[in-house]
Amino acid sequence: MVICPTCGSPECVRPAEDLIAGTAGMYAPCNLCAAERPLDKLAPFSGLGRFFDRDAGRCPACGKRHIDYVMAQVLGILVSRGLKSGRTPLKDAGSPLIACGFELFEAPRLGSKSLIVLLDHVDRAAAELILAEVPEVKGVLKRSGGPLKSVGLSDVGVKPHTYELLAGCDMRSDIVSSLLGEMAFYRNHRQMHVEFWRNNSVKIKVLEQLFLDGGLEGRTVVDGMASAGTLGLLTATAGARRVILNDAWLPAVKNILLNIEVNKKALGVELRQIAAPESLPLISKEPTLVARASGAVEIDVYHADLRRLAGVVKECDVCIIDTFPGISPDAFVKAWKGITKDRIITL
């Protein structure tokens, strides 16, 4: 059992194999609601011509609701509180994040506590009302900086950008399926950037090609800006001998530890903490070994500026450098160029 670090619930974070096994019908409509038409996302809210309460659009058979009806109820609450205009179209209500992300081929039908909403114009009272009145909503985040400004830490000398969790829980997961394996990755979105993993993800395809070329088997891989650990942990299931996961942002390190734990069956490892995360700085320049997982693969988790980590690791075969949008990888490449034996991958 893994306790959610945000809400403390034992139900929020599940082992990867259990989560993956439940995806087949997670957001699927039943035979009765499959024909439910979406709402007009371009029409003003006042022009939708109906009142949206907790049962608006709810299927009497399966109990789920089309995501449009959930977001319409959220928008209705914002309008009633004077935080949005009745002229606001549904597309501008906010950004919905399904609690378990994976590739979908139609709009999701939502059950209880299956959606986190990012809202630009919301206060705590409205957020708490949304959480209480909209059964499908798991958490409400107040977004700042607009949808294009990434959450988290772009570099150690830059002030981190975060959202505010106003109500509920912001922990959600993504299921990543690839030639390297199928795993689940959790992250809390008030401090971690939103990244939707698709089966045709450029980043995943780069690693798949490296795997097919024999570039991972028995190798030492550094995932230097690991965030939730997705890329590095996928190389661990693809035959890497040793994987080093690092991030200078403490919330990312905590997410990495969580994701090793929930994927430990697929990884074939047991995790041992070496440094208590609570004792670490929010942003770290000097390298600290936080944890080590051992078993089918050796995994080290560091909290450090990637440029300084090079002085500790000394040598690797593959170094993955996945910077934030707009951040040049040049200084990081320079630090690792002399000690990376095979290739440096910049994403």
**Domain shared by 289 and 161, yes or no:** no
Structural domain includes residue 305: yes
Residue 89 sits at the vertex; the CA angle it makes with 86 and 93, to the nearest 5 degrees, is: 90
Question: Residue 203 above 70 pLDDT?
Answer: yes
Structural domain includes residue 183: no
Structural domain includes residue 185: no
CB 137 within 8 A of CB 97: no
Look at the chain and report how many structural domains it folds into: 2
**Whole-model pTM above 0.85?**
yes
| pLDDT > 90 fraction of the chain, expressed in percent and rounded | 90
Region 53-72: mean pLDDT is 97
Structural domain includes residue 177: no
Distance CA 175, CA 224 (A): 22
- What is the per-residue pLDDT for 199? 67
- What is the per-residue pLDDT for 325? 86
**Domain shared by 87 and 155, yes or no:** yes
Question: Residue 197 above 80 pLDDT?
Answer: no
**Domain shared by 161 and 224, yes or no:** no
Region 112-137: mean pLDDT is 98
Here the CATH number for the domain that contains residue 279 is 3.40.50.150
Q: Which residues contact 60 (CB under 8 A, 6 or more apart)?
A: 32
**Domain shared by 209 and 105, yes or no:** no
Question: Residue 227 above 70 pLDDT?
Answer: yes
Structural domain includes residue 76: yes
**Domain shared by 53 and 126, yes or no:** yes
**Domain shared by 153 and 21, yes or no:** yes
- What is the per-residue pLDDT for 200? 72
pLDDT in tens, 141-174: 999 988 888 899 999 999 999 999 999 999 999 9
Range of the structural domain that residue 226 is part of: 200-346
Domain boundary among 171, 188, 220: 171
Q: At what angle do helices 124-133 and 67-80 cross, to 10 degrees?
A: 140
**Domain shared by 32 and 90, yes or no:** yes
Question: Residue 194 above 90 pLDDT?
Answer: no
| pLDDT > 70 fraction of the chain, expressed in percent and rounded | 99
Structural domain includes residue 23: yes
Across the chain, mean pLDDT equals 95
**Domain shared by 141 and 28, yes or no:** yes
**Domain shared by 120 and 246, yes or no:** no
**Domain shared by 154 and 59, yes or no:** yes
Question: Residue 284 above 80 pLDDT?
Answer: yes
**Domain shared by 229 and 342, yes or no:** yes
Region 273-287: mean pLDDT is 96
Structural domain includes residue 6: no
**Domain shared by 217 and 322, yes or no:** yes
Region 288-308: mean pLDDT is 98
